[in-house]
Each structure stands twice: as structure tokens, then as C-alpha cells.
Amino acid sequence: MPNLKVNDINLYYELHGQGEPLLLIHGLGASTRDWEYQLDFFKTRYQVLIFDLRGHGKSDKPNYPYTVSLFASDTSALIRQHFPQGMHVVGHSLGGMVAFQLAVDEPELVKTLTILNSAPAVIFPSIKDHFLFFLRTYNVKLFGMHAMSVQLSKMLFPESSQESLREQFVERWSENDPKAYVNSLRAFRGWTVMHRLHSLLCPTLIIAADQDYTPVTFKEYYTRLIPNAELVVIKNSRHITIVDQAEEFNRVVMNFLMRNDIK
């Protein structure tokens, strides 16, 4: 199993396929496994790099609060090890925050930027949304990962036809180390790069699920702040679009990448 020593931790990663390099950064409580609907699709044309963020999957899980800048620093070291010339970067949720941070800090490493169901700042539409998100910290501490996973799966996969997905993700999320999960959640508090969006000059694709946590209107707003950005809304999808609308997500991203391939 390949690991890279970065910032005093071992970072687990995988490389698949051949072609222009493409990095996929997963979300909170996820891992390389969650790209299963993308890997076979994209590796036919791209060399795909997937990895587990610190505190997740098979990467090390040091017990102290993480930050988005630290996640981005880990990611930068991984890219420089394998593709110092830069990569196409795709980030989902927390991975989108990491991708934003990477793109503003080290733009030479990001050829194109794709952001799914994420934002350049942690802003909650209402006090209720703010409360429910940070309630996760206390739920995990009090009741454990399994209870939180059951609750989350019902919200993200509510359809009767999604029962198998609910079961699968309850099993996966329950495997998270509770301390590492809480340490990752702490990275959200007060984070923003909103004031730096004007410096993003690479081609940028913002993808919004129509039923995501944060409204499409907010994504429309920040898309306008990025010089070379476009927004695509995927219908009948919640937060985990890479699963509940995998084919449409893959199609949209592939079209964007092919228009912006750099040979």
C-alpha cells in the first residue's frame, strides 16, 4: 500500500490510469473508497490520484485539531511528489474547501479546479443550519459514530430505493475514528478564502446539487467572484452527488476537463 510521509504523518494514496493527471479529494468522513463511481470512468483518459486526508481512511490520525490549511499542505506535498507540473483538481465538500485553499495558496499546482457541493467559506444559511452542523461534534462524542451515521444516511439518502446506499454508508461512516472525525470538524470553524477568490485564474467549475445543504443561490454568488468560473446545477441530488447522481456528475466533469485539457 503506497504511503507518503508528509508533515509528520503517513498519507495513504493510490494512482490509477494514464494521461493528464487528475486529483480527487474526498469529503468529511469519507475516503478513497467513495470515488468508486468515478475511478473506472476517469482512469480511461486520466491518471487519477486519490488519497485519504489525514484523520481519514488509511492515513494517520494524529489527535489534535486539524485545519483546512494543514489539509491543503498535505495535499500540496503529495502533488509535488508525483506531479510537480500541476494537476486537474476535483474536491467534494471538505475536499472542495481543501481544493480552494490549495488553489489560492499554490496556483501553479492547479491546472483546473472543480468544486462539488462546497464553498470558499463556512457560512450557514440560518442559525438552525449552524446548530445542526456543529451538533455533530457533540453527537459523536455522546453517542458514537454509528448513531451519527444512521442519522446522516437518512438525511442524505432518504428515498426508498436508496436503502442499500444507506446501509453501505452507515457501515463506512461508522468506521471513522471518533476523535479524528471531531478534529476534522474543527477545521470548518471560521474558515474562509472568500476574499481571495479574485486571484483564482484557472478554469473553474462549480457543481451544485439542487438539494445540497447550502442553497444554489450562494453558489451562484461566489461563482461570480471567480474570474474564469462556471456553475452547473445537478438536479435530484443531495450532498453526495458523486453517488446519487454519479453518471451526470461524471459527464459534467469530463466535458469540463476535455475542454480544458493542457497537453
Task: Report the pLDDT value the prediction gives residue 147, as an integer from 0 to 100.
Answer: 87
Report residue 111 as a C-alpha cell: 491546472
**Is the separation of the CB atoms in 71 and 62 below 8 Å?**
no
In a domain, 131, yes or no: no
HEC per residue, the chain: CCEEEECCEEEEEEEECCCEEEEEECCCCCCHHHHHHHHHHHCCCEEEEEECCCCCCCCCCCCCCCCHHHHHHHHHHHHHHHCCCCEEEEEECHHHHHHHHHHHHCHHHEEEEEEECCCCECCCCCHHHHHHHHHHHHHHHHHHHHHHHHHHHHHHCCCHHHHHHHHHHHHHHHCCCHHHHHHHHHHHCCCECHHHHHHCCCCEEEEEECCCCCCHHHHHHHHCCCCCEEEEEECCCCCCHHHHCHHHHHHHHHHHHHHCCCC
List 229's β-bridge partners, or say none: 204
- Residue-level pLDDT at 148: 85
CA 63 from centre of chain: 21
User: Is residue 197 situated within a structural domain?
Assistant: yes
**Which pLDDT score, from 0 to 100, does residue 129 have?**
66
Give the Cα-Cα-Cα angle 156, 28, 249 (nearest 5 degrees): 60
Asked whether 89 and 112 are in contact (CB, 8 A), the reply is: yes
102: domain CATH number is 3.40.50.1820
169/48 Cα distance (integer angstroms): 23
Instruction: Evaluate whether residue 20 is within a structural domain.
Output: yes
Residue pair 30/241 in contact (Cβ under 8 Å)? The answer is: no
The answer, as to whether pTM is greater than 0.75, is yes
178 located within any domain: no
Written as tens digits, the pLDDT of the chain (263 aa) is: 699 999 999 999 999 999 999 999 999 999 999 999 999 999 999 999 999 999 999 999 999 999 999 999 999 999 999 999 999 999 999 999 999 999 999 999 999 999 999 999 987 666 666 666 667 666 777 778 888 899 889 999 999 999 999 999 999 999 999 999 999 998 998 899 999 999 999 999 999 999 998 899 999 999 999 999 999 999 999 999 999 999 999 999 999 999 997 65
Question: What is the DSSP pairing of strand 87-92 with strand 204-209?
Answer: unpaired
Predicted pLDDT at 202: 97
**Cell 494537476 belongs to residue:** 87
Total domain count, the chain: 1
Whole-number pLDDT of residue 214: 87
Residue-number span of the structural domain to which 248 is assigned = 3-125+192-259
Per the domain annotation, does 162 fall within a domain? Answer: no
228 part of a folded domain: yes
In this structure, is residue 247 part of a structural domain? yes
Q: Is residue 200 part of a domain?
A: yes
